[in-house]
Copies of this chain bind each other. A is one copy, B any other.
Amino acid sequence: MKNKLTIIKVGGGILNERKLFEIFLENYSKIKGLKLLIHGGGVIASSYMIRLGIPVKMNKGRRITDSNTLDIAVMTYAGLINKNIVSILQKFNCNAIGLCGADANLITSKIREIKEIDYGLVGDIISVNDNFINQLLKLKISPIICSLTHNGYGQLLNTNADSIASEISIKLSKNYDVTLKYCFDKPGVLIDKNDNLSLKKTISKTDYKQLVNNKIISDGMVPKIENCFYALENGVNNVFIGDHDIIKTTDDCSKIIL
């Protein structure tokens, strides 16, 4: 029987609210068994960019990353956010280590091809080196991975955190029984976006197609849910999507099923 591994992807406003985020991390530290956290930090990156007079450019919710933007992403994701997460987790007796995709050659990627939009220094994942993650998990060290990868030729690349979460989960599902939880600002998929009580608790592929047709799932939620199906179709055991309470219980969130 495989060991259980919980993989959490955290994003959204919670990273920016120190007290809420500390509670989140305390709950993370209480997850039984092996665990791994993936985070972005776009809101904090944008706030530093504005302070530094660097233009924030987005296309359909994805950041266009020139070299100044990448510097700020590296500073905030791999520095400010990642190391504060690690030091707070140490306080809660969770031995954590903060990493980006260049560390120990964890995640290699290639620069995104220019089609309609030139996203700049954005990487699409080529491979995940699970050996080192396995070593860390054996040592009871929890990896905290930020949304940066590298191309192997000295270039760091900004990479979507949801994609990192699904690719790492798939790779680790070879050796572990993986539960992947995407944690964002809403309790899950809402039939009425203004009513948390309209939460859809399970979403199959058939449901998904209907929800897209009815425009209930749209914009940034589309790639998010597609990442969930992609993970399930490639070996991940369970995938949930919900708000920060998802870390304690999956009673009030959306479970994605094939």
Contacts and interface: CB of A to CB of B under 8 A. Distances in A.
Interface of A: 22, 48, 51-52, 71, 74-80, 82-84, 86-88, 90-91, 95-100, 102-105, 132, 135, 139, 141, 148, 150, 152-156
Contact of A86 (B52, B80, B103): B103
A95 B104 contact: yes
Contacts of A86: 100, 102-103, 150
B135 A91 contact: no
B148 A139 contact: no
A152 B179 CA distance: 29
Interface centre among A77, A88, A102, A139 (most CB of B within 10 A): A102
Given A98-B103, A156-B83, A90 B150 contact: yes
13 contacts: A48-B52, A51-B52, A52-B52, A74-B79, A78-B78, A78-B79, A79-B80, A86-B150, A87-B150, A87-B156, A88-B154, A91-B153, A98-B100
Given A98-B103, A104-B95, A80 B90 contact: no
Given A90-B152, A154-B88, A100 B83 contact: yes
A84 B73 CA distance: 12
Contacts of A105: 90, 95
A102 B87 contact: yes
Contacts of A71: 80
Given A77-B79, A83-B74, A97 B90 contact: no
A76 B78 contact: no
A153 B153 CA distance: 38
A94 to B, nearest CB: 10
B154 A90 contact: yes
Most interface-central of A52, A154, A155 (chain B CB within 10 A)? A154
Contacts of A139: 132, 135
A78 B88 contact: no
Nearest to A25: B154
A76 B84 CA distance: 14
Given A77-B79, A79-B80, A83-B148, 19 more contacts: A71-B80, A74-B83, A75-B75, A75-B79, A75-B80, A76-B79, A78-B98, A79-B79, A79-B82, A86-B150, A87-B102, A87-B156, A95-B104, A96-B103, A97-B104, A98-B100, A132-B141, A135-B135, A135-B139
Contacts of A102: 83, 86-87, 90, 98
